[in-house]
Amino acid sequence: MTTSLPRPACIRHWTEIQEPDDATYPGDTELMSIGSPFGRVFGFARIGIHHEVLPPGRRTSWPHAESTEEEFVYVLEGEPDLWLDGHLHRLGPGDGVGFKPGTGETHCILNNSDRDVRLLVVGEHKRADNKVYYPLHPRRAAEIGERHWKDWPARPLGPHDGKARKP
């Protein structure tokens, strides 16, 4: 039996909490994905959960690797490309990708298609001990200071530049 009571605060639709389409890295104008931060809205302290809309020609982030934070991406809709250590791997609805911390695997998701991609992204919530490595953006190391992963386990990078292509 369905109730006629107002929905409690623990129920939210991603469109109700979607952030403005203005996500960029400091000092850069490239727009990234458009997020709906479920974890933050629900006040979660240990996990981050985002519904992400990735318009054509965009990527979720700069390619990066994490030292201690686990990450998981699940494709809800569309056909994005996983950029993994400089190589592209096509994904589709139902595909899940897990990134174990400490491996040095550099990654991001690109939308090289002509329609929106929708993702569910889950990870640990900003661990104090986490370090990040950006293989294609060395200036970011100086910007993030102590959060830069200086001794990441080096991995060879393939030929792709990590940028999404507009269809």
pLDDT above 90 for 141: no
- Calculate mean pLDDT across residues 54-83: 98
- Helices and strands per DSSP (H, E), number in the chain: 2, 10
Give rounded-to-5 percent helix, strand, coil for the chain.
10, 30, 60
Mean pLDDT of the chain: 95
DSSP assigned state of 145: G
pLDDT of amino acid 131: 97
Residue 41, C-beta contacts closer than 8 angstroms, at least 6 positions apart: 12, 17
- The rounded distance, in Å, linking the Cα atoms of 167 and 43 is 38
Task: Please give the backbone phi and psi of residue 162, each rounded to the nearest 5 degrees, phi first.
Answer: 80, 5
pLDDT of amino acid 104: 97
pLDDT above 80 for 2: no
- Calculate mean pLDDT across residues 150-154: 94
**36: pLDDT confidence band, cut at 50, 70 and 90?**
very high
- The rounded distance, in Å, linking the Cα atoms of 137 and 153 is 17
What are the boundaries of each domain within the chain? 32-147
- Calculate mean pLDDT across residues 99-127: 96
pLDDT of amino acid 128: 92
pLDDT above 70 for 1: no
**39: pLDDT confidence band, cut at 50, 70 and 90?**
very high
- Calculate mean pLDDT across residues 32-56: 97
- Calculate mean pLDDT across residues 63-92: 98
Q: Does domain 32-147 have CATH number 2.60.120.10?
A: yes
The SS3 assignment for 22 reads coil
- Residue linked to tokens 């990066």: 64
- Calculate mean pLDDT across residues 62-83: 98
